[in-house]
Amino acid sequence: MEKEIRRFLTLEKESVSELVVDRSRFIAHSFSVTSQEMIREKVHQIQSLYPDANHWCYAWRLGYNPSLEFSTDSGEPHGTAGRPILGSILQRNLTNLLVIVSRYFGGKKLGVRGLINAYQQVADIVLESSGITEMELFAEFFLTINPACFQLMVNQLICFCRDKKYLELNPNESKIRFRVPIHRLGEAFTLLELKKKEKCLLNWKRCDNQLDMNRKITSFSYSAPDLPF
């Protein structure tokens, strides 16, 4: 029987680190992310920050049990950049993060092994700088409430969640977003179905990123010309 995942490891903070190897400059950024849309935004952000970099190589991992992961060499020789970065992430068993490395070619070839070592080293450095924290796993729900029952539902959800900080309220549209620890997921389903039968709840859906685990993995544009390594 597969063990239930209740906690996961991720970045304690976002960070930036730099490494120079034989005049090639490697700048690594770590980001906390929860969706491919966020990843796309961060990649474009770094490309805009370093528009004259020769390569933007990155790796990311999302979710848990199973996780979704991706890496790209972005013009570097196959297997010399994205995979070493991803390896640093997997070695620490981290998720919900992106590491992107911008490289400025220094005019001296590093060779395949040199590139692998450089990308892995700068990824290790930025992850060490970011630190690791353990997070409790939550499920997230989006509710559409019968307007006549809105305050009643708020009170019942606060009681269920044991803390109002897990609720985001939109009384003008009679909508509520709330989070619940994953080990109480069955209780949440039972409560929501009961409130739907009572006509207090018009509709609900689960909206945390676990729903996106089977989505197609997307990569992002790379337009810089390839250079000798």
- Considering the domain architecture, whether residues 126 and 42 belong to the same structural domain is answered as yes
- Considering the domain architecture, whether residues 12 and 110 belong to the same structural domain is answered as yes
- Considering the domain architecture, whether residues 105 and 196 belong to the same structural domain is answered as no
Under a CB-based contact definition with an 8 Å cutoff, are residues 6 and 135 in contact?
Answer: no
Please indicate, yes or no, if residue 49 is contained in any of the structural domains.
yes
- Considering the domain architecture, whether residues 47 and 69 belong to the same structural domain is answered as yes
Specify the pLDDT at position 146.
Answer: 95
- Considering the domain architecture, whether residues 56 and 106 belong to the same structural domain is answered as yes
Q: What percent of the chain is modeled with pLDDT above 90? A: 72
Q: Could you report how far apart the first and last alpha carbons of the chain are, in Å? A: 47
Specify the pLDDT at position 135.
Answer: 86
- Considering the domain architecture, whether residues 157 and 63 belong to the same structural domain is answered as no
Please indicate, yes or no, if residue 64 is contained in any of the structural domains.
yes
The tens digit of pLDDT for each residue in 108-142 reads: 999 999 999 999 999 999 999 999 999 888 888 99
User: Is the pLDDT confidence value at 184 over 90?
Assistant: no
- Considering the domain architecture, whether residues 113 and 161 belong to the same structural domain is answered as no
Specify the pLDDT at position 200.
Answer: 93
- Considering the domain architecture, whether residues 131 and 149 belong to the same structural domain is answered as no
- Considering the domain architecture, whether residues 27 and 88 belong to the same structural domain is answered as yes
The tens digit of pLDDT for each residue in 31-73 reads: 999 889 999 999 999 999 999 999 999 999 998 777 899 999 9
User: Is the pLDDT confidence value at 210 over 90?
Assistant: no
* 0.85 surpassed by pTM: no
* Domain hosting residue 204, numbered range: 137-212
- Considering the domain architecture, whether residues 128 and 107 belong to the same structural domain is answered as yes
